[in-house]
Amino acid sequence: MTTEIKKVPIPRRGVDYRGKVVLAPMVRSGELPSRLLALHYGADLVWGPETIDKAMIGTTRKVHDATNTIVWTRKPSQGAKQPPPDAPENIIFQIHPEKEGRQLIFQMGTANPELAVEAAKLVAADVAGIDVNAGCPKPFSVHCGMGAALLQTPDLLCSILEALVKNIASEYEIGISVKIRILDTPAQTEALVRRLVATGITGLTVHCRTTPMRPRERAIRGQLRMVADICHEAGVACVMNGDVEDREQASQLMEEFGVDGAMIATCAEKNSSCFRSQADGGLAPWREVVEQYLRYAMEVENKFGNTKFLLCQLIPGKQPAYKNISPCKSYTKVCELLDFPHLVDQARKVDESLDIDPETGPKKNKDAQKKANMTALAAGGKKAEYRQQAKRPLSERGVTVQTEDKAQSQLPEGLAIPA
């Protein structure tokens, strides 16, 4: 006799995490073109990068016809000062509704139920789920009690999830989920998970590391089956995270530990074709992945700085191309140096749209820096004196250029100048 597995009802517009291999939420590495790349290679769902509730509140939702995307923008923060009327708006979040809308989970950084609901209402109609970050240990996430700090305040974490379930799940018909880390002891993890699955969530992702642990330390899976069993008792889907390398390994781990899904982070950052099964070709060559990424980045007019950062993750460090793109300041130069001549015309158009000079980079930044330098020089003082001095040769400024051997000898023991 087979026992039927209990399942929390999935809202009409929500998604079931069971049987899914998904892209983890990653700051910078989880922006729109990276998510599209993961979906291209077979990811079942994608998490957006953690977005702080206060950053979303006050944004304006806009449809960008040229890229078929939706963006949430706001004026840059100036502290107590009002930003100038002509200040450009920052893009806080961007999605491609046609290509990812029904597979996109919005992850939120929050430590306040009211703010969480207010921020979620801005995006809930455009995504397939809202996920609360209660697992990131980095300072930008845990400050003000967010991220992994919520593991130490379970009452607050539960109140946030309950508020989202009550005010978002029913009205927008999407699921609410949470991502956590394991605690120091199985008893502590069990107590926390039992409280979380009782809040009405449809999914729980457990990162198999404690808060102090970093990616270089191997994931701890000893508590994983216990977490999965507790989730299943409540009908909640359980997704595992931590040292999952590809789709084949994900399937093996799901079967071994009884979890419902698996989340890939670091390996997806290096080569998103890790989501592709061996039957579909397995891991693709890096040039193929880089070309596809560039196509998506230019299609959605991704910020060049973010694109360049991701290229440095996708191109193996030992490849000559890795060093070649370091001085690049435009899509045009990247496509030329990577020898993608068929993409150069598109790159020029994107550079023009983003106001980027192919040789010198973003025009606005250059003009602003030039204006700031002129203002400082006109004002006089030590900064102006330093800048004027900086124009003179090094030898005239009392600067001695060290040889590599001498510089190496002055480093603390155990450190070396990179080759």
Q: Write out the two tokens for 240.
A: 């595992």
Positions marked catalytic: 136
How would you classify the pairing of strands 129-134 and 104-109?
A: parallel
Q: What CA–CA distance (Å, rounded) separates 405 from 145?
A: 47
Q: Write out the two tokens for 218.
A: 């191997």
Q: DSSP 3-state assignment of 342?
A: helix
DSSP string, 144-156: GG-GGGGGG-HHH
Q: Are 30 and 49 in contact (CB under 8 A)?
A: yes
Neighbouring-strand partners of residue 239: 205, 261
Long-range Cβ pairs for the range 121-125 (8 Å, 24+): 121/167, 121/168, 122/56, 122/57, 122/59, 122/61, 122/72, 123/56, 123/72, 123/93, 124/168, 124/171, 124/172, 124/174, 125/172
Backbone dihedral region for residue 48 (phi beyond 0: left; psi -120 to 50: alpha; all else: beta): beta
Q: What CA–CA distance (Å, rounded) separates 293 from 334?
A: 12
Q: What is the per-residue burial (b if ≥16 Cβ within 10 Å, else e) of 227-250?
A: bbebbbebebbbbbbbbbbbbebb
Q: 97: which residues sit within 8 A by CB, 6+ positions away? A: 68, 69, 70, 126
Neighbouring-strand partners of residue 178: 132, 204
CA proximity to 350, closest of 72, 74, 66, 91: 66
